[in-house]
Amino acid sequence: MLNPFDVIESSSIYDDNKMQHQASSGIGRATVEKLQALGAKVLSGSRSEGNLDLADLSSVRDFAKSIEKCDIVLSCAAEIYTKKGETSIDGFDLTFATNHIGLQALLEEIEKRQLYPSRVVVVGSKLEQNGLVDPGIVSKERGMKLNNRPESEYTAVKHYSDTKLCNQMLTTALAERWPGTKTFSVSPGMVDTGLWRNFPPWFQVLTWPIRKIALRTPEDASLGVVYACASEEAGKEESGTFFVDGRIELASEISRDSKKARKLWEVVSELIRERGLK
């Protein structure tokens, strides 16, 4: 394991002696508790604590000002909004803003101040393999649409998969952009977390027994995240590695396309600048 470190908490950030991460609940909270047990000091950022809302760029900017140094950035942001067309305060698709734009905005703030961490760990999902993302459409639609999927085929879970593909592409772009930082992504599997809270009450009641029996607990799921954050073994792997329960797997082909990943980063960066986060 790493030496005792400080943690700053976003959807997630660390500092080998400081980690920053957003861990208000679920996998984030379980991961931070385990990292604290290893000696990490944590500065948390989350909506529940009132100091970070990744769907609000001004909140991201304000939180970033509190970062003095950062050894590990851990991103656990994940939301599924079931009402199509919901927008963030900045005018972006709400799921896209929460799961992706806010994370990139935070990383860009860290980059501006040259507070490069030793690792960036993004909690992703194997559902990214079902995602569709076209940087050209993201640009044209100004962050309100990610692809040309027919309206008749839209579902909240598919849209979530699209944003997780964006996350995976971000790890590819960041591995190239920050050569001195190890950038990893982690799939925690199917987990019973607050991610389900935005589904209709009837769906939550119907699936409750299945979720409690078949899905992993946040505590179990966090083990693979801790491995990517703190183990010496993980630190020896190449930047851009995709971990599943400590094993290395290949992410989707499109997510590993450095040209497309770089283009998505550039498009999202432009959207962030348009909203005044410079």
pLDDT of residue 18: 45
Task: Supply the pTM of this predicted model.
Answer: 0.86
Taking the CB of residue 135, how many other CB atoms lie within 10 A of it? 20
Separation of alpha carbons 109 and 68, rounded Å: 12
pLDDT of residue 212: 67
pLDDT of residue 124: 92
Considering only residues 18 and 56, tell me which one the structure prediction assigns the higher pLDDT. 56
Q: Show the tokens assigned to 115.
A: 């507070």
Tens of pLDDT, residues 91-113: 999 999 999 999 999 999 999 99
Taking the CB of residue 172, how many other CB atoms lie within 10 A of it? 26
Domains defined along the chain, listed by start: 6-274 (3.40.50.720)
Separation of alpha carbons 185 and 47, rounded Å: 23
Residue 1 three-state SS:
coil
Considering only residues 111 and 207, tell me which one the structure prediction assigns the higher pLDDT. 111
CA distances from 6 to 34, 43, 48, 110, 223 (A): 13, 8, 21, 16, 19
Averaged over 118-140, what is the pLDDT? 95
Separation of alpha carbons 150 and 233, rounded Å: 43
Find the range with the poorest average confidence among 52-61, 79-88, 208-217, 246-255: 208-217
DSSP secondary structure letter of residue 191: B
Non-local (6+) Cβ contacts of 43 within 8 A are 6, 7, 8, 9, 18, 19, 20, 66, 67
Separation of alpha carbons 246 and 228, rounded Å: 7
Q: Is the pLDDT of residue 13 over 50?
A: no
How many CA atoms are closer than 13 Å to the CA of 97, on its beta-carbon side? 25
Residue % of the chain over a pLDDT of 70: 79
Mean pLDDT of the chain: 84
pLDDT tier for residue 188 given thresholds of 50, 70 and 90:
confident
Q: Strand 41-44 vs strand 119-123: parallel, antiparallel, or unpaired?
A: unpaired
Separation of alpha carbons 84 and 151, rounded Å: 10
CA angle 131, 136, 141 (to 5 degrees): 90
pLDDT of residue 76: 85
Residue 93 three-state SS:
strand
Q: Is the pLDDT of residue 126 over 70?
A: yes
Q: Is the pLDDT of residue 139 over 60?
A: yes
Averaged over 263-270, what is the pLDDT? 98
pLDDT tier for residue 196 given thresholds of 50, 70 and 90:
low
pLDDT of residue 194: 58
pLDDT tier for residue 17 given thresholds of 50, 70 and 90:
very low
Q: Is the pLDDT of residue 30 over 80?
A: yes
pLDDT of residue 1: 43
Residue 124 φ/ψ region, left for φ over 0, alpha for ψ in the -120 to 50 degree band, beta for the rest = beta
DSSP secondary structure letter of residue 87: B
Are residues 11 and 102 in contact, defined by beta-carbon separation less than 8 angstroms?
yes
Residue 184 three-state SS:
strand
Tens of pLDDT, residues 48-75: 677 889 999 999 999 999 898 888 899 9
| DSSP per residue, 23-60 | -SSHHHHHHHHHHHHTT-EEEE--TTTTS--TT-HHHH
